[in-house]
Structure 1
Amino acid sequence: MSDIDDIDERFRALTAQIDERERRRMNKAAAQEWARHPRLRRRRRLRNAAIAVVVLVAAAGVFVSYRPDVVDQVRTAVSGRLSDLTAGESGETAGTNEPVETARAEPGKTSPFDGSPAQGYAEGAEGLVMPPARAVGGLSRKEVSAAVRHAKNLLVASHLDERVLTGGRPEKLIRLLDPEQRTPFVKGLKKPDRKKGYHSREWVTSLAPGSGEFVTRTVKVDGETRLSAFEEDGLRGVRVKVNYLFVYAVQRPDRPDTLTRLVAHNIGVVQAWRDGDRLRFWVNEWNGGGVASARCDTDDGFVHPFYPDSLNNVETTGPAVDPYSRAEDDTRPGACRRLTSET
């Protein structure tokens, strides 16, 4: 019999000490713990294999609590056998094996987007699907292509830049703005003009300092971009309208039990026209859809997540809205609306 087979045989013999009643008790405890898990809504379409893995992991935890003596025996047996196996190996060989074991992916690992519409969304910039360029509004196909690319870069800078998401200065977005828009935007970052309702930080998705942390660097994205011609004030060119949802998984710092999802809705318009020998881009509207599952009683421009344990003492107005809907309405900016479902 090989050394590995011998270890497996010992493990099977030790675990056989658990009687059928104790196994049923462990499985029941694991199932109850899974049912109490906050926020992650489960659907029948979840794979049975994923549920089985969760039950096994939870059962292992109960096993450790009830039978620490058995675990000690297994640990001793495995440690001794591994010592025999590695006794003839050099330190270099043993060292190269450890990182491989550590880096091995955990089977059945769930995503914080499971159970929500965002589960099927694309990840990051892959979700920013742009329409094929064509000649529009007196601009050539090449010029329209540049306008579409510029709009996409604005979306990435506003909602996918890690520095901006964590409250940093939106440098990439600033560089993408027309010089005539850049100056007031930078000024609005330092001193917002609340009388005119202009707050530069509202153009981007940024967590308020200390309000939360991202559970994963993955951002789920879904939406569309449409092209049309425009003519106004003697200008003629292409109008690029974006309508995208950006879904983030966040939690209170070091509090995985407060997991929630933020859904930022960017409805925006970028216009492009020819000014002499150069092509100009102008952000006419931006980030006009609000953020679902965020507090609506703040005015600092940052996103303040609303967690399962947050106090809900804000009066809502108007009809309830679907957090995953990209439909446009005439709701005034800053209005507090109820959500038809969890994010």
Structure 2
Amino acid sequence: MSDRRSEQSSGDEPSSSSSIPDEVWEQFIRDTERDIRKSAPKEPSARARQVTERLKGQQEPEGWRTGPAWQEKDGRAARRRRIWAVVGLPVAIAVAVVAMRPSLIPGDPFGSSSGSSSGTDTATSPLPAETAAPTAPPSAVAADTPTLARPFAGSPALRWADGADGIVLPKATALGSIPKDRVELALRQTKKLLVDANLNPRVVAGARPDAALAVLDPKQPRLLDELNTALRAPSKAHDPLSLFSRFDPEDVMPAGKVIKTRGRITFAKGKFAGVAVHADFTFVYPVVPVDGSGEVARTIVRRVIDAELPDPARYRVTPGRLTLLSYDEDAGNSACDVNDGFLHPQFPSRAPAGSATPTGPSIDPYDRSRKLGDRPEGCGMVSRT
């Protein structure tokens, strides 16, 4: 695209011999500058990470505006993520086993699946894909202890889809002047980000999420620098768990090959003349200690991501790469105040790895009707895992 500022030839410049009066020419310039200012996009907001710098070059012609900027919230690398410890930290194994059951409601209102003759979970029908925001948490299910053979026993996630099958993309449609293929690209790139960041077995075991990082725009200021810092040297200020699900392979290993997934993706016309994508998903990870005990624990991670595929003809962005506008995360059943870049599930027979004591009311990590912003500060508790 040529620079429109260079399109005016020397013969177009006003001079003393021009037929256009000076006052008319000056008024034209003032009106043009005013129209450009009015048409410039406003700064978008975000819950966790946000675009905080005004678009640069608003006086410049289209094709020369910078893309959305990146800046730490409130001038610091403050992530909006909350780790919820398992409810009722165990003081004895018997109490811990009760805490590990998925519901605090006593009894077995639906009949325990452990009593079935087949000993499998196949009798439970899978849920249809989520198409709208839930209005309530999942119903209580049979209190059942997870095992290596049945790692999702006693969990609402038993009926959820397996892995990437749970990330169902909506049917792409054109958005005004934005063609259908651009919408499809934005959706595919968002799914690629979610799959590599949360479901790739190597990434979950602590490897670098190269495919997820490759989806993000390197021209977005400071974003990749911050994520690379978090992966290289995790800390409280730079935590890779804010975007990636990772477990310490020296501490735990997967209990099977399945990670349960549930959520939805929506799209709309964005604030940067592109396709805005909103993703809200919950992932359930069953793990066992590497000590060979076979004891199963589950960690539940919910992620909410807002991204956009801006118009490369209008903004200085990398074509086909996502601009990450915000991301937010909750982790249920992971030790508090451990900032080594890994999730640390709590097991009934093991002391908690974190130093913080859970306080305050418990939450249901399976409750997808809850807004992530509606949560207390500090180390919370979960009602079931």
In structure 2, relative to structure 1, the CA distance for the partners of 1:279 and 1:334 (3 Å cut) is: farther
1:240-281 Cα offsets, whole Å, 9 max, x none, are 111111111112113445311111111111111111293441
Are 1:273 and 2:310 an aligned pair? yes
The secondary structure found in structure 2 opposite 1:290 is strand
User: Aligned residue for 2:252?
Assistant: 212
Q: Structure 2: which 5+ runs fail to align?
A: 1-95, 103-107, 120-147
Q: Distance in 2 between matches of 1:117 and 1:271?
A: 32
Checking the alignment, whether the CA contact within 8 Å between 2:332 and 2:365 is kept in structure 1 is: yes
In structure 2, relative to structure 1, the CA distance for the partners of 1:149 and 1:208 (3 Å cut) is: same
In structure 2, relative to structure 1, the CA distance for the partners of 1:47 and 1:208 (3 Å cut) is: closer
Q: Distance in 1 between matches of 2:197 and 2:311?
A: 25
**Structure with the greater relative contact order (CA < 8 A, sep ≥ 6): 1 or 2?**
2
Checking the alignment, whether the CA contact within 8 Å between 1:319 and 1:337 is kept in structure 2 is: yes
Checking the alignment, whether the CA contact within 8 Å between 1:139 and 1:273 is kept in structure 2 is: no
Within a 5 Å distance, the mapping from 1:193-204 to structure 2 comes to 194=236, 197-204=237-244
Checking the alignment, whether the CA contact within 8 Å between 2:197 and 2:244 is kept in structure 1 is: yes
Are 1:226 and 2:263 an aligned pair? no
The secondary structure found in structure 1 opposite 2:274 is strand
Shift of 1:137: 6.6
Are 1:190 and 2:232 an aligned pair? yes
Which stretch shows the higher mean deviation, 317-326 or 204-213? Answer: 317-326
Are 1:131 and 2:170 an aligned pair? yes
Give the AA of the match of 1:152. Answer: K
Q: Pick from 318, 325, 328 the counterpart of residue 284 of structure 1.
A: 325
User: Aligned residue for 2:371?
Assistant: 328
* TM-score, normalization by structure 1: 0.64
Checking the alignment, whether the CA contact within 8 Å between 2:235 and 2:341 is kept in structure 1 is: no
Q: CA RMSD in A?
A: 2.9
Q: Distance in 1 between matches of 2:118 and 2:372?
A: 43
Query: Which structure is higher in helix share?
Result: 1
Give the AA of the match of 1:215. Answer: A
Within a 5 Å distance, the mapping from 1:39-58 to structure 2 comes to 39=100, 44-46=110-112, 51-52=116-117
Percent identical residues: 27
The secondary structure found in structure 2 opposite 1:338 is strand
Give the AA of the match of 1:227. Answer: F
Checking the alignment, whether the CA contact within 8 Å between 2:229 and 2:238 is kept in structure 1 is: no
Deviating runs (4+, > 3 A) in structure 1? 36-48, 50-54, 181-184, 191-194, 254-257, 277-280, 310-313, 315-319, 331-335
Shift of 1:334: 7.5
Q: Structure 1: which 5+ runs fail to align?
A: 1-35, 55-108
Q: Distance in 2 between matches of 1:159 and 1:334?
A: 25
Which one has the largest radius of gyration?
1
Q: Distance in 2 between matches of 1:191 and 1:137?
A: 44
User: Aligned residue for 1:121?
Assistant: 160
Checking the alignment, whether the CA contact within 8 Å between 1:40 and 1:112 is kept in structure 2 is: no
Q: Pick from 214, 227, 230 the counterpart of residue 175 of structure 1.
A: 214
Give the AA of the match of 1:284. Answer: L
Give the AA of the match of 1:140. Answer: P
Count of aligned positions = 246
In structure 2, relative to structure 1, the CA distance for the partners of 1:323 and 1:184 (3 Å cut) is: closer
Q: Distance in 2 between matches of 1:256 and 1:44?
A: 29
Q: Distance in 1 between matches of 2:235 and 2:176?
A: 34
Checking the alignment, whether the CA contact within 8 Å between 1:200 and 1:301 is kept in structure 2 is: yes
Q: Distance in 1 between matches of 2:361 and 2:201?
A: 34
User: Aligned residue for 2:3?
Assistant: none
User: Aligned residue for 1:315?
Assistant: 357
